[in-house]
Structures are given as structure tokens and as C-alpha cells.
Amino acid sequence: MALELDIQKKTIYTDRVTLDIEDVSTGWGDPIDGGGDYPLRADVGIHLQGWEMNYKSERANVLTISNTDAPTVSVWQLTFTSDCWFQINFFAVKLWTAGSYAADRVVSYLGKIYLATATTTAVPGTVGGGWSEVTDPETLIDTDEEEVLAAYSTDVFFARDNDMFSTNLEGETMDMVDKLDIFDKNSEQRDDIFQMVKKILFVVAAEWNNARGDFYKADLILKKGRDL
């Protein structure tokens, strides 16, 4: 099995704007086709960056994600401003250990990513030590192919996740149902019917669009959810 970087939703908090995502990656230490092995989880720092996406599939808001505990963290908490698609870049970068590094080697050290600008034995972050902090990890990937650039491929492993965040509709369910005359006013029947309709027309529609890659439709689906 190849190394598969992956995350999954873990908890949506009752505040309606906070979500945990969890690292569920597999394949650490597995053989690489052509020789060598993928790194172990203990040998990399995981660095995430993310955005809320608008209906045009543009990055509308940066998500605040702490990478301070990159060597050990497995759960991250995201805070959103509204229902949205969100996109996460997921980088696993080999941890720095004492030794000699040639130019273009990439390491994770104390929650930051560094690129060697010349052969160096210095600790990353040392002034004049031959390291440059990578403030935007996307400079390490080919943005068209969404793969790590060849120069960094032995040190950096990358995946991208697109998903949907929405809890606001849950809080409005009963208010919406009260305004619909097509349902019987028997409360038990009303709840069952509406939950079924909501799931079919909203959740499934959004998931299908997500699976097809039509992320630009997400905001429209979320907004139209109030009209179901």
C-alpha cells in the first residue's frame, strides 16, 4: 500500500461554527515503488492550511490552523464564519535531525517548514544558517498537477481535501416545517417526512456535487437549503 494522506470529520460542535478533523492516514513506512520506504508518522511533521470556499470555488477566507505540534498532532479544530465548502492542504514533511543537508532539502522543525538554500549543518531558523522558512507550503507543489515538485518529493508528501461544512440548517428545521402546509400537522409524522426530504434533497445533492468535483455549486446548494 502506498502512503495515503487523509483526514475525516470528527465532531461538529453545537456552536455551529466549529469542527474537528482527524488524521486517518495509512501507509506510513510502506515500500515505495522503485525503492525505499515511506516515512513513519514519527518521522514527519504534519502541516495543514485551509480556506473557506465561495460559490465560484475561490478561496474566500483563510482558516486558522495551528501547526505548532506538527510532529504529534492528529486532530485539528477549524472555525468557520458560515456554511461553506472548505479546502485543506495536507503536508507531511520529514522532521529535521542533526546532520548535513544539501540545497533544496525540506524539513519540518518546531512547527515550521524550512527549505535549505545551500548545503548546511545549521539548525533551521538560525540566522545565516542556509535555511529559508517556507511561509506558503503551496510553493512546494505543482499547482496544476497538485503533486509535490520533483525537487522536494523525497521530503514532502501532499494531499488535498475538499468537503462541506453546514450545521445551520439543523437549527432551523422546526421553524421551516411550521411554515409548510403540505405536511400533516401531526408532529411525529411531520418530523419523519421532513427529515427524509431534507436528507434526500439537500445532503445527497451536496454530496453528489462534491463527488463530481462541482465545488463551485456548494454555496448555492447551502443557501437553497433554506427553501427546501
Calpha distance 181→198 (Å, rounded) = 16
pLDDT of residue 215: 54
Residues whose CB is less than 8 angstroms from the CB of residue 141 and which lie 6 or more positions away in sequence, other chains included: 147, 148, 149, 158
pLDDT of residue 170: 47
- What are the tens digits of pLDDT across the range 57-95? 788 899 999 999 999 999 999 999 877 778 999 999 999
pLDDT of residue 202: 58
Q: Angle at Cα 24 formed by Cα 93 and Cα 168, nearest 5°?
A: 110
What mean pLDDT do residues 181-207 have?
57
Among residues 137, 186, 128, 184, which one has the least CA distance to residue 160? 137
Q: Position of cell 548545503?
A: 119
Calpha distance 146→173 (Å, rounded) = 39
Pairing between strand 59-63 and 75-79?
A: unpaired
For residues 210 and 92, the model is more confident at 92
Give yes or no for a contact between 48 and 113, defined as CB atoms under 8 angstroms apart: no
pLDDT of residue 54: 73
- What are the tens digits of pLDDT across the range 16-41? 789 999 999 999 999 998 888 999 99
55-68: burial string, b at 16+ Cβ within 10 Å, e else: bebeebeebebebe
pLDDT of residue 213: 57
Among residues 42, 24, 31, 25, which one has the least CA distance to residue 1? 31
pLDDT band of 173, cuts 50, 70, 90? very low
